[in-house]
Structure 1
Amino acid sequence: IQELMDTLEPLGITSNSSPELAVSAAEFLLEGMTAHRRITRSEERSFSAGDKARRNEQAANFHETVREREKERAEWEAKNRTRRGFN
């Protein structure tokens, strides 16, 4: 991956570091970037740039998702509302 070692230099990881240390630091960085959805990981454990178009589409449709959830919640509350009798 381009510039991966440059990204690790602030952590003190250089090309002269032990291979085990460099690999573990690189994997840690890649897993973190995957967790923040900046990159994606395939089944073969290869990494690629994240899909911005899909995220932009999800952001554009977010208000519809929220509206659907609110409607479902209102329906659920109406269905599960308890009737309180008078004592």
Structure 2
Amino acid sequence: MIAHGFAPNDCVIYFSGTLICSITGSAIADQFGITPRKRGRPAKDEEDKYEPISLRFHPKIITWGKEEAEKRGIGYQTVINEALLEKIG
């Protein structure tokens, strides 16, 4: 069941579709002296942000990128991006 109207750090308990208990993230922090983790990726520096665009590559480039990515255990877009950055110096 989705808890609508609650913050991500709230503790919400349902039983048979009925809301039983909800504790806000700040109440948890106050009671237990902990701070809930922030969710998601950390924000990137301005120079590290990528600009979303759409490109069309020859299928050989995509195949090479995917094969290389599989060997290195990273994403193929990262492999292609690294190759392009290396080429421009």
Please give the TM-score of this superposition, normalised by the length of structure 1.
0.26
More strand by share: 2
Question: Which protein has the larger Cα radius of gyration, Structure 1 or Structure 2?
Answer: 1
Please give the TM-score of this superposition, normalised by the length of structure 2.
0.26
